[in-house]
Amino acid sequence: MILETGPVASIGVAGCARLRVPLRANSPRQHPIEKAPFGQMRSRSAAGMAKGFVYAGCLLIAGCAAPFGVRYASPKEVHRSLTANELSTGELSNVTQVMLRRQNKTEAFQNDPAATLLVLRATLLTGGLPHEDLFSLAELSFHYAERGGGKPHYLASAVYAYAYLFPKNPDAFDPRLRDATDLYNQALTQAFKSADGEHVEIAAGTFALPFGQIEVGFDERQLLWGTRRLHDFSPAAEVEVIGFRNRYRQPGIGAALAAATERIDPNEPVESFVVGPHVRVPVTALLRLPDPSDQVLRESLTAELELHPSTDQESVDIGGRSVPLEQEPTAALALALNEGRPWATELGRFLGEVSGTQLIPTRLGGLEPHRHGQIPIVFVHGTASNFSVWANMINDLDNDPVIRQHFEYWFFTYDSGQPILYSASQLRLALTATVSAFQATDPDPCLDKMVVVGHSQGGLLTKLTAIHSGDLFWPNWSRVPVEQANLSDQTRAMAKEVMFVEPLPFVRRVIFIATPQRGSYLASAAIVRRLAERLISLPASLASAGASFLRTDVASQAGLQRLPTSIDNMSPGHPFIVTIAKIPVDPRIAANSIIGVTDPGNLETGGDGVVKYKSAHIESAESELVVPYEHSMQSKPEVVGEVQRILHHHLELNSCAAEPTHPSQGAVRETSAQIH
């Protein structure tokens, strides 16, 4: 409201005609009394009329004034209103709505967004829009792209957002910093999506913009990842993760993707040590614009498309600033498990060929190529299980930057129904072959600091990488020394490999989780053993050697009519479990135990439902943690936390001097470690 003082005041209100009102003669700011017509002085009654005019004017003003005021709302409601934007609610942010109103383009954008965006761009080119309004142009472009504008407007949104973010450094407390980053990330993903919307196409080319075009370059050497090639890029940020306790995400710049891998040479054997056909690599795509402040004003732009696997780096330099990359490691792991579905072979891995399930051969594998300078952690699953049981633990461990930098994850999968000594020999052979191949091409001291983690039966396999058995297992089969036994050379060689165990020189620590060191009381049930005996089918090589052995005098003297299954082996009182319980872990190898007792106050008879505490406990353990959980405890927070603690301690004692290399740097190796 504007009030002018004087003999006659002029009162103006927005949207109302200006109202001229005489002031009282005795007003504090008094002017000479105005003479009436005919030269007469104004009377008191005239002054009273003036007062009435003032009151009447106030009433008129109140009647046409804008409805200013406040309405009290809950803090959550206010926060939602202030932070709403195109990405979170589908509505334009408050700052963008302000820009439209200041440019008088609110209605125009509603009626014709494409034309209005061009008008606003013209205003930008003439200097009519400040740098901060690049954020609003990015949001408006994304808004229209979502409603029919398509890929050109997604690309425009990414360009505007990038120019807003770089090279200037927005205030860290300005919410537009994060919003602009998210707009850039999502716009980039949408701009390069395939026609079916399920993949992101990484390639060079010339792409249309609403106001021109952008020439995008891409060096295809970025697709190389060690001895593999990245392909089939899925938008990880759009995946709903199921089954994981925690979803980890590194916020930053770029489109978060999950890439499949393939052998560079398709004629090479498919059975490699490292990456299975369904493994997904977290990758970030970045569209880098040189001199964005200048380029955003052009009709013809240039940019470089970059790929950054999470195994290579977690940040990039943009304009002299270190900027974190957007990464979705949990989503990539979930995609891999969803496509591979390893749980579908659990029964087959336990029962063998009789199940009719197509099996993956027993093998040693990992999530990525071995990197020089990283310590392997080998995970060994239990009975009727698969490597996916470690997924939650891996997901949590990998969120620890120290563990992520210094360790890598290997997995051993095997037929868990076969004799434990035989499965353990396969594990030892696979580890020995893999480490030997790596050390031969690029000696790495970190390979000699290996940690092996086993759950349940897998814990017994783990122990068999860390003990001197001598000839303690052989008398369970024969009273005749192995060299004198009536065996074929092939059967004798297998017997010596399986039953005469020496600790692996590169294993430095073993971690037992719910391990039946003295057997499982469930395995002692006769009905369970008879069922396993009838259903479990042994692999061909073992069955052939076993048949040969059972026909010998050695087997006849021992009273053996069939080879034992793993269920037999884990039955309390079975010669195998009685023997292995007596053999301590090699003193140079550290051992840690995690034991489940559902009733922690009852260690004497308590257990996890499968293994009693008394069976799992070993005196030589460096540490022992008792947790109140049932047998399948790998993903429980206390268990993960204990493994995390142990790995930090292991690193303190076994640090490697060299920093890890990255797959794209070429210092990676793969080796065949498939055991038949």
Is the distance from CB of 145 to CB of 153 less than 8 angstroms?
Answer: yes
Spell out the alpha helix ranges (H) of 503-582: 526-535, 540-550, 553-558, 566-569, 575-582
One domain for residues 48 and 123:
no
CA angle at residue 236 from 234 to 240, to 5 degrees? Answer: 115
Write the DSSP symbol of residue 220.
Answer: G
Domain count, the chain: 3
Q: Where are the beta strands (DSSP E) in 381-530?
A: 407-413, 450-455, 507-513
* Spatial separation of the C-alpha atoms in residues 411 and 393, rounded to whole Å: 13
Distance CA 357, CA 561 (A): 27
Strand partners, 22: 8
d(CA 80, CA 551): 79
Residues 169 and 102 in one domain: yes
What's the CA gap between 262 and 260, in Å, rounded?
7
Report in angstroms the alpha-carbon separations of 499 from 317, 391, 494, 502, 562.
56, 32, 8, 10, 17
| Closest to 333 measured CA to CA, from 281, 275, 285 | 281
The mean predicted confidence, pLDDT, of the chain is 83
Give the sheet arrangement for strand 2-4, strand by strand: 2-4, 8-12, 19-22
Out of 23, 48, 64, pick the residue that ends a domain.
64
Q: Is the separation of the CB atoms in 222 and 242 below 8 Å?
A: no
8 Å CB contact between 654 and 508: yes
The domain boundary, picked from 280, 306, 340, lies at 340
* Phi/psi at 591 (5° precision): -130, 140
What is the rounded CA–CA span in Å between residue 382 and residue 201? 40
Q: Tell me the one-letter amino acid at 366.
A: G
Query: How far is Cα 298 from Cα 610, in angstroms, rounded to an integer?
Result: 70
Residues 508 and 623 in one domain: yes
**Ranges in the chain, pLDDT < 70:** 1-66, 267-277, 340-361, 523-562, 657-676
Tell me what pLDDT residue 24 has: 40
Do 112 and 260 lie in one domain? The reply is yes
Residue 81 is assigned to a structural domain of this protein:
no
- Cα 269 to Cα 261: distance, rounded to the nearest angstrom: 15
Q: Do 281 and 311 form a contact (C-beta atoms < 8 A)?
A: yes
Identify any residues that bridge with 323 across adjacent strands, giving them in sequence order: 316
Rounded to whole angstroms, how far apart are CA atoms 197 and 385? Answer: 35
* 437 and 582 share one domain: yes
Kindly state the DSSP code that residue 193 receives in the 8-state scheme: B
SS3 content of the chain, % helix, strand, coil (to 5): 40, 20, 40
- Has residue 671 been placed in a domain? no
Q: 270: how many CB neighbours lie within 10 A of its CB?
A: 11
Domain shared by 214 and 323, yes or no: yes
| Domain identity same for 261 and 291 | yes
587 touches 581 (CB < 8 A): no
**CB-based contacts of 428, cutoff 8 Å, min separation 6:** 464, 465, 501, 504
Please tell me whether residue 148 adopts helix, strand or coil conformation: helix
Contact 233, 329 (CB under 8 A): no
Partner residues linked to 234 by β-bridges: 258
Q: Which residues pair with 205 in a beta bridge?
A: 216
* Residue pointed to by tokens 């952008």: 214
Task: State whether 382 and 488 are in the same domain.
Answer: yes
DSSP 8-class letter at 27: -
Are the C-beta atoms of 415 and 361 separated by less than 8 Å? no
Work out the angle at residue 399's Cα, subtended by the Cα atoms of residues 395 and 402, and round it to the nearest 5 degrees. Answer: 130
- The CA distance from 227 to 664, in Å, is 9
Tell me the Cα Rg of the chain.
Answer: 37
* Rounded Cα–Cα distance for residues 501 and 432 (Å): 13
Counting beta carbons within 10 angstroms of the beta carbon of residue 74, is it exposed (0 to 12), middle (13 to 18) or buried (19 or more)? exposed
Other Cβ atoms closer than 10 A to 481: 10
For residue 14, the enclosing domain spans: 2-64
Phi and psi of 407, rounded to 5°?
A: -125, 160
Q: How far apart are the first and last CA of the chain?
A: 90
Out of 340, 374, 408, pick the residue that ends a domain: 340
CATH number, residue 547: 3.40.50.1820
Tokens representing residue 106 in the block? 């609110």
Question: CA torsion, points 360, 240, 643, 624, in degrees to nearest 10?
Answer: -90
- Count CB neighbours of 29 within 10 A: 7
Note whether 331 and 364 are same-domain residues.
no
Block residue for tokens 């425009």:
156
- Residue 622: how many other CB atoms lie within 10 Å: 14
Residues 359 and 336 in one domain: no
What's residue 71's pLDDT?
85
pLDDT at 259: 95
CA dihedral defined by 596, 601, 606, 612, rounded to 10 degrees?
A: 40
Q: Are residues 369 and 322 in the same domain?
A: no
Q: What phi and psi values does residue 448 have, to the nearest 5 degrees?
A: -90, 10
Predicted confidence at residue 533, as pLDDT, reads: 46
Rounded to whole angstroms, how far apart are CA atoms 557 and 476? 11
- How many Cβ atoms sit within 10 Å of the Cβ of residue 205? 12
595: enclosing H helix or E strand: strand 590-596
Token pair listed for 424:
């353990």
Residue 156 inside a domain? The answer is yes
What CA–CA distances, in Å, run from 114 to 10, 111, 193, 212? 45, 9, 22, 14
Q: Where does residue 202 rank: exposed (0-12), middle (13-18), buried (19+ CB within 10 A)?
A: buried
Q: Rounded to an integer, what distance in angstroms lies between the CA atom of residue 237 and that of residue 143?
A: 19
Residue 63 carries which side chain, given as an amino acid letter? G
Residue 291 and residue 182 share a domain: yes
Residue 545 is assigned to a structural domain of this protein: yes
